[in-house]
Every structure is written in C-alpha cells, then in structure tokens.
Chains A and B, each alone.
Chain A
Amino acid sequence: VTRYFFDLRDGDEFSPDDEGTELDGVEAARAEMIAAFPAIAAQRIRDNGSRAEFEMTARDEAGNEVMRASRSFILTQV
C-alpha cells in the first residue's frame, strides 16, 4: 500500500492534496485518476462556467510525480 497525493490545478488556482489516499499500487492510482479527475473537473465546470483548464498530478510518498492528466473545457458561443 502506498499513499498517493493528487494535486489539482484549475487555471491559475493550485490546490494541493495535503492528506493523500492509501492505494494498492500504481494501477489503483491510475484507476483513481481516471475516476476522480474527470468527475472533479466536471463539477468545477458546472460551478464556474465556460472556460476551464485542469491538470491533476499524482505524487507518491517520496514526492515523485508518478502520473499526470489534463483536461480542458472551452465553450464558445457562436
């Protein structure tokens, strides 16, 4: 079991994960990234509107970045 920390960047706002989540290896961290990141991003898009750039990185206990995901949402009215 390893503790992973999932930091989120939403545009200029950086919100670090100070607490982390214990997960059973890097595959579990990948599954969490896939489940959590789009859901958190979608929620923020609903809250904040039409333009957003997100990035989530996962760090291990030693502070090494082990994976990164990004997503953007840009709504243009025509």
Chain B
Amino acid sequence: MHDHPLIRKLESQGLRLTDEEQSALLAMPMQVESLRADQDIVREGDRPTRSCLILEGYAAMYKVTPTGKRQIVAFHLAGDIPDLQSSQLEVLDTSLGTLTAAKVAFIRHEAINEVCERHYRVARALWRQTLIDAAIFREWVVNVGRREALNALAHVMCEFVVRMRAMGLAEDHQCDLPMTQAELGDALGISTVHVNRTLMELRAAGLLRLTGARLTVLDWDRLREVGEFDPTYLHLDNKQAAAS
C-alpha cells in the first residue's frame, strides 16, 4: 500500500498509476489544515476554488431541509476528496463537515485540472472515484427508502468496515466508528432512539460490539446477511478484502 492516502485510495479502486502519474498527483500544491470536530469545511451554495482531500479523520456530506432536519448523504475517510465535484461544477449543492478532528489538504481546482489535462489516466482515476461515490449514493437511497432500520444500519456498518479495510485502517474486523448515534440516525433518516434500539438488537444478536468509538464485528457473515450487503458497488480492487 502506498504511503499517501490519495494514491492508496485511487489504487484501491482498481487503477494502477505509474510512478510519473503518482508524482504528478503528489506535486499538486496542497494546503494542509487541522480542523476540529463538527466543523463545516464547505457549505451548500459556496463557490469553492479548491477541493478538500481528507488525510486523517472523518467527515460527512449532508443537506439540511428548510425545517432544520439534516440528512447525511455520505461518510468520508482518509483518501476521499468528497467535494471533487466542485472542480467541475461551480456551485456546491451540498455541505461537508468534519465528524472528528481531521487533517485535510486543500487542492486548488486549477492544479487538479492541470494534472488531469497532462495525465489522462489520472483524470480517469478521479472520474472513477466520483462514479463510485455515485454508486454509494444509490446504495444509500435503498437504505433510506427501502431497508428496515436493522438492515440499513447493518449495511452502513459493513460499508464502513470495507472502505476502512481498503485504506488499511481496519485490523481484521475492528475499526474506528466515529459517528455518534445521532449522526447514524441522520444518515439513515431515523431518530437517535431508533438507532440506539437497533444497535442493541445487533449487539444482542452477537453481530458486533461497540466500545467507545471502536467497532468490532463479531460475525461478519451474518452482519453482511442482515445488511443485505454486496460490496460489488464499491468496485474495490482487492475483492478479497471486501469479501472476507
């Protein structure tokens, strides 16, 4: 696995980059900043001139209804560029905020576009990343619209573990679970108490254990079954990591 989260992420999605392509990506000027937990990075309606690469920590993409209800549409971790879309679309149609303290690198759109113009396969790799983000959104529409809370919560857990594993951030079936129950509720469109009760069910069934912000999956096969989870939509290079 490559040291840099961006390269690791792009390669985990199945496109090997040459040394020259990797160097071109890493030569982009990056302004690294440390952010607190629960801090907005960009907001809906902004016209950013740069995108944000997560180096450490966790973030969520979200929208808020006029009555103040929040829907989280994606969780993000190291290697992700959640607002890469703003390099092509002028106005942001979503907000992005940290869930935990995070280290992020801001990359100017000009720099991204320039690398893409010089290196067609880098453009493909970034395109691939946004397509896979879209595949994740499709899966989440099913979660919010058609899966019962128990299945949807199990699905979100499975997805998170697999994405963490692909980035080398999980040990066996153990990883950070940085979201609060309220945030999980905002991701699934259910209330905090409903999340709480659903987690109790998953625990009582012996599928997982939660210790603080740490998740241990005790029965991966059954968690996958309950979550109706098929990792194909994540299009990961390492099918083994996704399946086992």
* Cβ contact within 8 Å between B194 and A35: yes
A27 at interface by CB-CB < 8 Å: no
B148 at interface by CB-CB < 8 Å: yes
Chain B neighbourhood of A61, CB < 8 A? none
- List, sorted by A's number, 16 A–B pairs whose CB atoms are closer than 8 Å: A6-B193, A8-B197, A17-B200, A18-B200, A19-B196, A19-B200, A21-B181, A21-B196, A33-B193, A35-B190, A36-B190, A39-B191, A40-B149, A40-B194, A43-B148, A47-B148
Chain B neighbourhood of A36, CB < 8 A? 190-194, 197
Q: Contact residue range for chain A?
A: 10 to 19
* Cβ contact within 8 Å between B193 and A21: yes
Partner among B148, B150, B193 whose Cβ is within 8 Å of the Cβ of A32: B193
Chain A neighbourhood of B190, CB < 8 A? 35-36, 39
Taken residue by residue from 26 to 51, chain A's Cβ proximity to chain B (1 for < 8 Å, 0 otherwise) reads as: 00000011011001100100110000
Q: In terms of DSSP, what is the predominant structure of the interface of chain B?
A: helix
CB distance from A22 to the nearest CB of B (A): 9
Q: Contact residue range for chain B?
A: 10 to 19
A interface residues (Cβ-Cβ under 8 A, vs B): 6, 8, 17-21, 23, 32-33, 35-36, 39-40, 43, 46-47
Partner among B148, B149, B150, B192 whose Cβ is within 8 Å of the Cβ of A21: B192
B interface residues (Cβ-Cβ under 8 A, vs A): 148-150, 181, 190-194, 196-197, 200
Chain B neighbourhood of A23, CB < 8 A? 192
Q: A39-B149, A43-B149, A46-B148 are in contact. Are A17 and B191 (CB under 8 A)?
A: no
Q: Measured between alpha carbons, how far is A23 from B200 in the docked complex, in Å?
A: 18
Specify which of B150, B196, B197 lies most central, judged by the most chain A CB atoms within 10 Å of its CB.
B197
CB distance from B152 to the nearest CB of A (A): 11
Chain A neighbourhood of B200, CB < 8 A? 17-19
Chain A neighbourhood of B197, CB < 8 A? 6, 8, 17, 36, 40
* Cβ contact within 8 Å between A32 and B191: yes
- With A8-B197, A19-B196, A36-B191 already in contact, 14 other A-B pairs whose C-beta atoms are closer than 8 Å: A6-B193, A6-B197, A17-B200, A21-B196, A32-B193, A35-B191, A35-B193, A35-B194, A36-B192, A36-B193, A36-B194, A39-B191, A43-B150, A46-B148
Return the chain B residue nearest A23 by Cβ. B192
CB distance from A27 to the nearest CB of B (A): 14
**Sorted from nearest, which 4 A-B pairs have the closest CB atoms?**
A35-B191, A36-B193, A36-B191, A36-B194
Chain B neighbourhood of A43, CB < 8 A? 148-150
Chain B neighbourhood of A32, CB < 8 A? 191-193
Q: Measured between alpha carbons, how far is A32 from B194 in the docked complex, in Å?
A: 9
